[in-house]
Structure 1
C-alpha cells in the first residue's frame, strides 16, 4: 500500500506478536526507524512478555519522522543459548494509513523460515511456476475501515481467491454464497473491514472462493481464529497479520533434469554444449512436463589452457562465465558471419566426437572470438547495452579482465610468479584501463566475451521462463587458489590451507580439492559482501541454486599444505582434544607413538611387499624403538610427491609413492598448530590404521571412546553456532530457492539448521543418511528436499547396478520387492522402476540425470553405461568431458518416449 499522507502527529504503534516461547527465550523487534533500531539487530528493542504465547511493545513515532515508504519491521528471537535469530522475510510494512489514524495495533504471527509455504515465495515460484495463478486486479481501498486482515496463500489455483468469513455483520455471518473476498497485493491477501458495529470476541476463518464458477471451495483447516475486541477508537487501525492460510501446504511437486552445459549436444553447437542449447533442452522439458533444469557451475575455469581446466568447480572467477559455452554465430551475427565459414568442417568434426575435446574446442573458439573482436569490438563496447552491463558488473569484470590479460601474457595463472602486478592494486588496474596502451585493448577483449556470454545465458533463462521452466545453478564451496578472487582479496581466504572431504565409501583416502578455505571472520566484517554480490549476479540467470558441500558452512575439512591426500586433514573449526583428557581417560599420551608414522618390519612388508628392502635402503632409517622413521627429505606427502614427479613414470615408482603416502598417514593424532603440544585432533578412520592395530586392546578401547566423542558428540552445538553465523545472512541476501548438498559425515545439527532456514536437503537412494540403513527409501523423503537416484559425482543407475552384485541383489529383493536372482544388467524396466519410485516420492523436487531418464528406454539408452559417468571423485585429475550420445533435436523427435515420460510425470502429480 502506498502511503496516502504522512501522519500529522505522533503515531502510536502497538506490536503484539503471537509466538510460543519457553523460559530463557526473549523476543525483539527492529525496523527502519530510529525508534526501532535503524535496521540494526544490535539495537533491536526488547519486547514485553505477556504470556507464553504472546509478547508486546508500544512505541511512538513523530509524524515528521515517518519514512516516505512507510515503516518496515521484523522480529528476532534470542534463544536460551544466546543465538539471535531473525524471522523470515522483509514484508512487514506499516503504510497506506487512513487520514484519521493516530494509532495502529499490529497483531502478528512469527514467520518461521522453515515453513513449507515460504519456499513458494522464492523466485522460481513467484516469477515462473505460480505466477499465472495470481489475479492481476488491484485492491480497492474503502474510505472507512477499522481492521485490516492480511494472510498468505501461495498454492491457489487460477481464478481462486482468499475470502474471510466470521460471526460478524461485516464478515457476512458465515454466509458462503456471498463471502468477503480479499485482494492480492504483493505476497499478501488483504481485506479491509469496518468492524465498528460488530461484537467481540469474533470468530472467523479464511476460505477459498472460485470467482469464475462463483463457488465457495471450502474453509481452511483447524479451529476458528479468534479476534479479541480492541478499543474501537475511530482513529485506531488494527492490522491482523495471520501468517499462512491453514491448508495442506506440501502438495506442490515438480520434476527436473540435471545435466552440465558442456554435455549438451545439438547440430549447431561447436563440439561442446553451449548456452544456446539450453533452449532446446527447455523445449524438451516443456514437452515432457519437467519444470526445472539443473546445471553444474558455468564459471570460467581457464587457468592452464589444458584439459585439466575441465573441472567446473575450479573457477578462476566466481562471477565470470566460461567462454567454452559461447555460441560463435550469435556473437558474429550477420556482420561477422563470413568469419565462421572456414570453421564449418572443424565444427562438424568436433560435433561428431563422442566426448568433448576441451582443448581443441577452446582453442578454436578463443581464436575466432579474437577475430570477431577485431571487427565488431569497437561498436559493441560503445553500445548503450554493453555500457549498462559494464557499469553494473565492473566490481568483478575489471579485475577479471586484467587477470586474464596477465595470465595470458605471462603464460600462467600463478599470479605470484608474474613479473608485474603480482599483487592486486585497484589504482594500477584503473591506470591500465584509462591508458592508450595495447594492453587496454586486450583487456577489453575479455569484457567483450563476458558481455556476449551474459546475453546468451540471459536469453536462455528468459526463454525458459516463458516456457514455464526454471533454471537451477550450482555454487562451488571453494575458489581456485590461482584465480582472480584470490588475487584480488587473498585476505578473504586461508591461502595456506587446502579444502577437501574426509574418506567415504567411494574415496577411502579422502578428497583434496586444493582450494583455500574461507576466512569467515574476515568475510563477516563487511556483512558477507562478496557472497551477496555473487548471489546477485547469479540471480540474473538462475531461479534456484545448489550449495555445493553445505557442510562446509558448519566446518570444512582442512588439509595442511604439506599433505596430498584428504585423509591427512581434520575439521576446522573444531574443538580439539586437550592433553589432560587423555590422562582423565586412562591413556598415557605418548606423542612420539601417536603423532609420528608408526613403522615396523611388519608394516613395511604389508605396505610394500617385495619393494620392502628398497624402502629401507632409500626412504627410512632405523630408530631407537625397534622400528623406523622416515628420512627428513621424505617426511611429508608433498616432499614424496615432488621426488617422484622428477622420476620416470613406472608401476614401481607409483607403488612406492602410494606406499610412502600410506606410511605418512599411519598416525593416530595430529598436533594442533600453535598449541605447544597441548591440543590434538584424531586422524579420521583411526581404527583402520596399523598404528592403532598394534596398540594393546585396553588402550584401543580408551582411544575409541575419545575418538567417538571427538567426531560425533562434542562438536555438534559448536558447529551449529558456526553455521548460524553464516547461513542466515546468506539466505537473506537472495530470493532464489536454496538447495543444500548435505552428503558425507553429516553433523546432527545439519538437518535442524536446514529445516530452520528452509533450505532443501538432498536425498540419494544409495547414500542413506541413517547409518543403520543400506538404502534410502524415496517414500520417506522429507517434503523440503530434492531426491535423486544419482548425481554427477556418481555412476548412473545402470552403471551402479553392475558395480556390486551383492548389493544389487539386496536392492532387487528389499527395495524393488522382487523374488529370486537379480538380473546381471540393469534392464529398462528396473531403471524405470527406480525412476517411478522417485517420481512418487513426497519430496518437493525429484531431479534426474538425463542419462538415468534415457535408461528407461532400450532403444535410446547408451550402449555402455560406463561411458555415461560425468565425474569420479576417486580420480583427482578427472577429465570432465561427457556428452549426450544423441542430439537434442533428435531427442525432441522421440514422440513415443517423450509421451511415456510425460505420462509418468503427470500421473505422479508432478506435471
Structure 2
C-alpha cells in the first residue's frame, strides 16, 4: 500500500472545509475522482492522507477545493495540473503545498505564449527516485533554463557553472529531485536562470534546504516555490486587425475565407507580426440578405459562417459557377447576398459529391460526438428557418417551442428532413476542418489567431430557441450614449439571465470558450462591461436613451423624494410643451402638433397613441425617406425619450434616472433647486451607487469564463466605464484596450501611449471607428491639437494624413509598453499612398450609430499583390524590430 499525505496552509472562514481531490491525469469528466477531506487544528494548516494500491507506475493529478455543506465554493486555479508520478516502489509521498490562485503572471501561461510567442517543450519522462527523495517543484514562467545553486558542494558552492539543472515537467513548472542521503542539511540556495549566456539570480533572501523526516522508500515533495527574476524581458508582439470577409485573393469568391487566412498568415510572418485579430466568425444567417452581414448577430455561438468556406478545395463540378465567381471577386466591396448564395451552391454540390462519404469517416464521427450539445439543434434550426422562410421561431408552428423529443425525431436517420440536417452537419465539419488548418498553419509560422466573442446572440438564434431560460427575450441589449452614438445603441440582442446561468457554473459560457480554443490562442471579449452590467432597453425603444443598467439597484419614489425631488408620474412621462415642440421641430412645429400630438391638461401635450413609443413611430415611417419625414421621425423619437426616469423592468414601482437626462429639455424645465437635487441623485446613481455591487457580480462571472481555457483574454473596455472595471481586469489579468483618441483619464484629450499598462492592447482604431485617415479629417481642431501636443509639430497640421505622419502615429503605438500592439490593416496601409484606398470613408468597417450598416469593406488589393510589396513590408518589419516586438 502507498500512503499519499497532503499538507496545505490555507485560511478558511467558519463553516468551510478543505478537500484534496485525486484522479488520473487527464481524466474525463465522468471518471472517478477520490475526495480526501482535510482536517485542521488551528484553521490554518490542513492535513490529510489516503492509502492506495498501485501495481504499476501511474501519473495522478490532484487539486484542492473549499466546500461549505458539501457544496464546492472555491477551487484552485487548474489550467496547469498538479501532477504526481507514483511508483509501486515508493511507500509514501508527502506533499507540502500552497493554494494556487491565478498566477502573478497568468498571461505567460496562456497558449498564445507557451505555444507560439515562447513555445515550451515539456519532459514527459519520470525523474529518478532515491532511497529517500526530496523533490522541489517550482512555478517559474521563464523563457530560458532554470537551475538550483547553493552553499554546499552538492549544490554547486554558489558557482553558476556547477548549478544543478531543473527539468520542465509542466508548462512553466520545473522540478528537481535530490538524494536526501547525499545532502548536507541545512543548506542555503537560490534559483538562477540562464539564457543566451546571461545568468539571473532570483530576487530576495536565500532559501533554506531542510532535512525532511523521511524513511526509506519515501518522497517529500515541496510545491510552494515561485522565484522572481529582475531583468526578465517581457513578451511584446505586434499584429494586424482585419475581418476575414475583408480579405481579397485573386481566385476568391468576392469575400475572404479560411483559405485566405493562410495567405494572410504568410504576409503577417513576412512583416514580423505575430497576431492576426479577426471579427466573429459565427453564422449570422437570419434572412439571407445583406442585413445578415452584421457579424455580432449570431444565430449560433458555435456554428461557423458558411460564407467563410474555402470552396477552391471542394469537389462537385463547379465550372458553371466560374463566371459568377469572377464577377463578384472583381467588386470593390463585398456583395454579401451574391457571395453567400454562391458559397451555398458550391457547398450543396460538394455535399452531393462527397457528403455521404465524409459523414461516415471516423473524423466526422469524432467531431459529431464532441459537438452534440449544439450541432443537431443548429442543423434543425437552419432547416426550419429555410422551410418557414423566417428565423422567427415563434412562427414555426408546432416547432415554435423547442422540445428535445422533437429534436431527436427530426434529426434521426430516415426522418423527412434528415438529408437537409446532414447537409448542415457536413458544412460545419468542413468549416471546422478548414479553420483548424488555418490556425495550425499560422501557429507553425509563429502567429496566433485572436478571435472575438460577441456579448450577445440574436433573439432569433438556435440558443434562444433551445435554451430560452438563459435569456430575457422581452428586452434588448445595447449601449448608453458614448463617443460612438449620442443617443446610445440598440443591438437587438436579448439580455442574459445570469442567475439561471450561474446554476451550472456558467456552463453556457465555458463551453463557448472551450469551443473557441480549438482555433484561437487569444480572444477579445466584446463589451466586457456586459459582465458587470448590460444596458437593457425595452423592446418598444429604438434608441438607447430609455435603457437601464441590469443588474442595478433601482430607486423607490420615497428615496427619490429624499433627494428633494417632488416625484410623481409626470417624471416618467414625456415632458412635451409648446416650447418643447418648437425647440425640437422648428418650422415643422405646427404640423407636428396637429398630426402627432394631443393636448393634455394644462399646456402640456402627449404623443398620440399610435406614436406613443419609438417603435410605433419607426413602423409608421417605414418607406418614408425624404428629409422632412426623417426630421419628424427623429423628433418624435426625442419627444418619447424626454423623461427624467424610466421604470425598472422587473419592478415598475421603482425607477432609474434616464441616461443623459442632464442635457434634456425635461431637466431644463425643473426649478433651480430641483435641478440641483436631480444632478446630485444622477451622479450618485451613475457613479457611486453600483460600484461594489457590479464588482462582486463580475467577480462571480468572469473568473469562470476567462479561466475555462488558456487563451489570452483581452477586454473591449470602452464606453461608460464604472470605477470597478479596471480593478477587476487587473485582478484577473485581463488585457485592457487602449485607444489614443479615447482616453480613459478624465480631462485628457489624448491618451499617453508611453503610460499604457503592460497588460493591454494598444490600437489606433477599432472596427467601430473611422480609420486614422478618416479621424484626421473629422474634427480639424482636434487634429491640430494632436499635431502640436502629441507629435510636437510647430507648423500647420496637414489637411490629409500623409504616410509619414501615419508612420509616426503607428510608432507611438508600437513603442508603447502594451503587451500587444494591434494595427488595423487600413491603418498599416495609411503609411503608403499607393496601397490605401483613395477615400478613407471607404475603409471604414462599421458605423455604430447606424443599426443597419452594411458590413462589406474589402482590401483594395489582393493578398498575392500585398505579399509582393517589398518596400512596404520591409518598413513594417523594421518598425516592429525597432520597437523590440
Q: Does 1:192 align with 2:174?
A: no
**Bigger shift: residues 432-441 or 595-604:** 432-441
Provide the residue aligned with 2:26 in structure 1.
Answer: none
1:148 pairs, out of 135, 144, 149, with 135
| 2: CA distance, partners of 1:40 / 1:641 | 58
* Matches for 1:426-465 after TM superposition, within 5 Å: 426-465=404-443
The 1:182/1:379 distance shift into structure 2, 3 A limit, reads same
Q: Does 1:697 align with 2:672?
A: yes
Structure 2 residue matching 1:282: 3-state secondary structure: helix
Provide the residue aligned with 2:27 in structure 1.
Answer: none
The 1:386/1:135 distance shift into structure 2, 3 A limit, reads closer
Q: Does 1:313 align with 2:306?
A: no
Q: Does 1:748 align with 2:723?
A: yes
Structure 2 residue matching 1:170: 3-state secondary structure: helix
Provide the residue aligned with 1:16 in structure 2.
Answer: 9
| 1: CA distance, partners of 2:75 / 2:122 | 34
Give 1:383 deviation, angstroms.
2.6
| 2: CA distance, partners of 1:648 / 1:887 | 40
Structure 2 residue matching 1:504: 3-state secondary structure: coil
* Matches for 1:687-766 after TM superposition, within 5 Å: 687-766=662-741
**Bigger shift: residues 379-388 or 460-469:** 379-388
| 2: CA distance, partners of 1:676 / 1:313 | 31
Does the 8 A contact of 1:310 with 1:880 survive in 2?
yes
Does the 8 A contact of 1:183 with 1:189 survive in 2?
yes
Provide the residue aligned with 2:28 in structure 1.
Answer: none
Q: Does 1:609 align with 2:599?
A: no
Give 1:498 deviation, angstroms.
0.3
| 2: CA distance, partners of 1:39 / 1:761 | 40
The 1:44/1:881 distance shift into structure 2, 3 A limit, reads farther
Give 1:168 deviation, angstroms.
3.3
Give 1:33 deviation, angstroms.
4.9
| 1: CA distance, partners of 2:697 / 2:37 | 22
Does the 8 A contact of 1:138 with 1:183 survive in 2?
no
The 1:773/1:231 distance shift into structure 2, 3 A limit, reads same
The 1:902/1:48 distance shift into structure 2, 3 A limit, reads farther
| 2: CA distance, partners of 1:657 / 1:443 | 44
Q: Does 1:223 align with 2:205?
A: yes
Does the 8 A contact of 2:803 with 2:831 survive in 1?
yes
| 1: CA distance, partners of 2:188 / 2:302 | 53
| 1: CA distance, partners of 2:358 / 2:124 | 41
* Matches for 1:375-454 after TM superposition, within 5 Å: 375-454=353-432
| 2: CA distance, partners of 1:184 / 1:347 | 52
Give 1:244 deviation, angstroms.
4.5
Does the 8 A contact of 1:289 with 1:905 survive in 2?
yes
The 1:514/1:356 distance shift into structure 2, 3 A limit, reads same
Provide the residue aligned with 2:247 in structure 1.
Answer: 264
The 1:830/1:114 distance shift into structure 2, 3 A limit, reads farther
| 2: CA distance, partners of 1:39 / 1:438 | 41
Provide the residue aligned with 1:364 in structure 2.
Answer: 342
Does the 8 A contact of 2:490 with 2:543 survive in 1?
yes
Give 1:800 deviation, angstroms.
0.5
Does the 8 A contact of 1:27 with 1:47 survive in 2?
no
Give 1:460 deviation, angstroms.
0.8
Give 1:831 deviation, angstroms.
0.6
Provide the residue aligned with 1:3 in structure 2.
Answer: none
Structure 1 residue matching 2:145: 3-state secondary structure: strand
Provide the residue aligned with 1:237 in structure 2.
Answer: 220
Provide the residue aligned with 1:858 in structure 2.
Answer: 833
The 1:849/1:435 distance shift into structure 2, 3 A limit, reads same
| 2: CA distance, partners of 1:881 / 1:825 | 24
Number of aligned residue pairs: 872
Q: Does 1:163 align with 2:147?
A: yes
What per-residue deviation string (whole Å, max 9, x for no partner) do you get for residues 779-800 of structure 1?
Answer: 1111111110101111111110
The 1:343/1:105 distance shift into structure 2, 3 A limit, reads closer
| 1: CA distance, partners of 2:61 / 2:35 | 18
Q: Does 1:60 align with 2:44?
A: no
Q: Does 1:784 align with 2:759?
A: yes
The 1:94/1:449 distance shift into structure 2, 3 A limit, reads closer
2:94 pairs, out of 90, 95, 104, with 104
1:278 pairs, out of 248, 254, 261, with 261
What per-residue deviation string (whole Å, max 9, x for no partner) do you get for residues 604-634 of structure 1?
Answer: 0011112211222122222223211222332
What per-residue deviation string (whole Å, max 9, x for no partner) do you get for residues 694-736 of structure 1?
Answer: 1111111111111111111110110011111111111222111
Give 1:595 deviation, angstroms.
1.1
1:182 pairs, out of 166, 178, 193, with 166
Does the 8 A contact of 1:128 with 1:470 survive in 2?
yes
Q: Does 1:73 align with 2:59?
A: no
Give 1:96 deviation, angstroms.
3.0
Give 1:388 deviation, angstroms.
2.3
**Bigger shift: residues 877-886 or 223-232:** 223-232
TM-score (norm 1): 0.91
Give 1:456 deviation, angstroms.
1.3
TM-score (norm 2): 0.93
Give 1:248 deviation, angstroms.
4.1
Q: Does 1:900 align with 2:875?
A: yes
1:818 pairs, out of 793, 804, 811, with 793
Aligned residues: CA RMSD: 2.8
Does the 8 A contact of 1:461 with 1:471 survive in 2?
yes
Give 1:186 deviation, angstroms.
1.4
Give 1:39 deviation, angstroms.
12
**Bigger shift: residues 411-420 or 237-246:** 237-246
Give 1:228 deviation, angstroms.
5.3
| 2: CA distance, partners of 1:420 / 1:478 | 27
Give 1:111 deviation, angstroms.
4.2
The 1:517/1:221 distance shift into structure 2, 3 A limit, reads same
Provide the residue aligned with 1:565 in structure 2.
Answer: 543
2:629 pairs, out of 628, 638, 653, with 653
Provide the residue aligned with 1:31 in structure 2.
Answer: 20
The 1:758/1:49 distance shift into structure 2, 3 A limit, reads farther
Q: Does 1:837 align with 2:812?
A: yes
Provide the residue aligned with 2:554 in structure 1.
Answer: 576
| 1: CA distance, partners of 2:85 / 2:631 | 73
* Matches for 1:296-695 after TM superposition, within 5 Å: 296-332=279-315, 336=316, 339-592=317-570, 594-645=571-622, 648-673=624-649, 675=651, 677=653, 679-695=654-670
Structure 2 residue matching 1:482: 3-state secondary structure: coil
**Bigger shift: residues 223-232 or 792-801:** 223-232
Query: Structure 1 unaligned runs (5+)?
Result: 1-7
Give 1:32 deviation, angstroms.
1.2
Does the 8 A contact of 2:36 with 2:50 survive in 1?
no
| 1: CA distance, partners of 2:848 / 2:452 | 17
Does the 8 A contact of 2:6 with 2:97 survive in 1?
no
The 1:359/1:240 distance shift into structure 2, 3 A limit, reads closer
Give 1:368 deviation, angstroms.
2.8
| 1: CA distance, partners of 2:124 / 2:774 | 53
| 2: CA distance, partners of 1:112 / 1:891 | 45
Query: Structure 2 unaligned runs (5+)?
Result: 24-30
Q: Does 1:92 align with 2:82?
A: yes
Does the 8 A contact of 1:323 with 1:449 survive in 2?
yes
Structure 2 residue matching 1:173: 3-state secondary structure: coil
Give 1:152 deviation, angstroms.
3.0
**Bigger shift: residues 436-445 or 705-714:** 436-445
Does the 8 A contact of 2:471 with 2:495 survive in 1?
yes
What per-residue deviation string (whole Å, max 9, x for no partner) do you get for residues 204-239 of structure 1?
Answer: 2111246xx8x5623123332344564455546141
2:156 pairs, out of 158, 168, 172, with 172
Provide the residue aligned with 2:844 in structure 1.
Answer: 869
Does the 8 A contact of 2:20 with 2:35 survive in 1?
no
The 1:694/1:47 distance shift into structure 2, 3 A limit, reads farther
Structure 1 residue matching 2:545: 3-state secondary structure: helix
What per-residue deviation string (whole Å, max 9, x for no partner) do you get for residues 238-271 of structure 1?
Answer: 4143124434456111011110000000012110
Give 1:162 deviation, angstroms.
0.4
